[in-house]
């Protein structure tokens, strides 16, 4: 229990021993209105201001809270400390073990298979099942969560620009392969991955997939380009994406 409590104390945690999960329920439990709930629970702002914030839409409330935190940084410290205690209570009351936790993202805990029965902590902090995924892969400390329930995938660890530019390209291909991996035999998966690898290395896919995932740019020699002509694709350095993401991905799935 001491180990799992130590994990729950961490604002951001990733179980790096787990690289791949397939056909497994992974559920994200997040705390409803976490920061604002701490403010109300700890009375960190005047009552009349809390009452005003209660009436605001979520976005406006978060903006106003953000401004108050800039004025009084100790509010942020209090929120962090309180949420740490809430996470610790959550894992203890639900008999959660270290192996049940895949990751922690501030006010959210991703659990593997485990279904907690105590969702209200300290009478006010409500943990809600937000998303459920069925496969997960860790590629170079970047996280890919796929759900066959909704045919969707969430990616964590990349810049927002990369997630946006690769949503319909690199990440879409990863999503397709994770979806197939849940359904087919190892031999069929091997054939599919071999075909995809060949197309990638021979630059037969949409050129957008060859943008470097770290910079969202095309790399040619020592230079970076926001856009390139099709005939220059043969000169683009695709090694970083291949070595850091695709090669580990192929090895993990097989």
Burial profile 146-162: b = 16 or more Cβ within 10 angstroms, e = fewer: bbeeeeebbbeebeeeb
Predicted confidence band of residue 2 (pLDDT cuts 50, 70, 90): confident
Domain(s) of CATH 3.90.1600: residues in the chain: 1-157
How far is Cα 84 from Cα 76, in angstroms, rounded to an integer?
Answer: 12
Q: What are phi and psi of 240, to 5 degrees?
A: -65, -45
Integer-rounded Cα Rg, in Å, for the chain is 22
pLDDT of residue 254: 87
Which residue in this structure is represented by tokens 């390209």? 169
pTM over 0.85: yes
Q: How far apart are CA 30 and CA 146, in angstroms?
A: 18
Topology annotation, domain 1-157: Palm domain of DNA polymerase (3.90.1600)
Measured in residues, the chain has a length of 254
- Under DSSP, the state recorded for 188 is H
Summarised one tens digit per residue, pLDDT across range 163-199 is 988 999 999 999 999 999 999 999 999 999 999 999 9
CA distances from 237 to 131, 165, 220, 244 (A): 36, 18, 6, 13
For 213, residues 6+ apart whose C-beta sits below 8 A from its C-beta are: 158, 162, 166, 170, 240, 241, 244, 245
Chain segment 68-127, per-residue pLDDT in tens? 999 999 999 999 999 999 999 999 999 999 999 999 999 999 999 999 999 999 999 999
Residue 194 token pair: 């071999």
**Residue 55 backbone dihedrals phi, psi, to 5 degrees:** -85, -15
3-state helix, strand, coil split of the chain in percent (to 5) is: 50, 25, 30
- The confidence score (pLDDT) of residue 179 equals 96
Contact 78, 38 (CB under 8 A): yes
The 10s digit of each residue's pLDDT in 20-51 is 999 999 999 999 999 999 999 999 999 999 99
119, 112 in Cβ contact below 8 A? no
Helix H or strand E segment including 233: none
């Amino acid at each position: 229990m001491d180990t799992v409590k130590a994990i729950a104390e961490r604002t951001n945690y990733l179980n790096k021993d787990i690289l791949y999960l397939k056909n497994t329920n992974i559920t994200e439990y997040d705390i409803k209105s976490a920061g604002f709930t701490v403010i109300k629970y700890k009375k960190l702002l005047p009552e009349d201001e809390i009452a005003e914030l209660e009436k605001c839409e979520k976005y406006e409330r978060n903006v106003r809270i953000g401004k108050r935190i800039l004025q009084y940084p100790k509010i942020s410290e209090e929120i962090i400390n309180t949420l740490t205690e809430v996470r610790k209570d959550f894992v203890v009351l639900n008999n959660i073990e270290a192996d049940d936790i895949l990751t922690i993202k501030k006010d959210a805990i991703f659990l593997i298979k485990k279904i907690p029965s105590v969702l209200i902590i300290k009478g006010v902090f409500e943990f809600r099942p937000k998303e459920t995924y069925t496969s997960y892969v860790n590629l170079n400390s970047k996280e890919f969560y796929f759900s066959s329930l909704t045919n969707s995938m969430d990616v964590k660890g990349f810049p927002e620009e990369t997630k946006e530019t690769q949503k319909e390209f690199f990440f879409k291909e990863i999503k397709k392969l994770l979806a197939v991996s849940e359904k087919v035999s190892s031999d069929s998966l091997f054939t599919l991955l071999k075909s995809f690898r060949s197309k990638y290395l021979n630059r037969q896919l949409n050129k957008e997939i060859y943008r470097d995932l770290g910079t969202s740019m095309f790399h040619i020699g020592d230079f970076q380009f926001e856009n390139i002509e099709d005939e220059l694709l043969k000169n683009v350095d695709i090694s970083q994406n291949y070595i850091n993401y695709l090669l580990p991905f192929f090895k993990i799935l097989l």
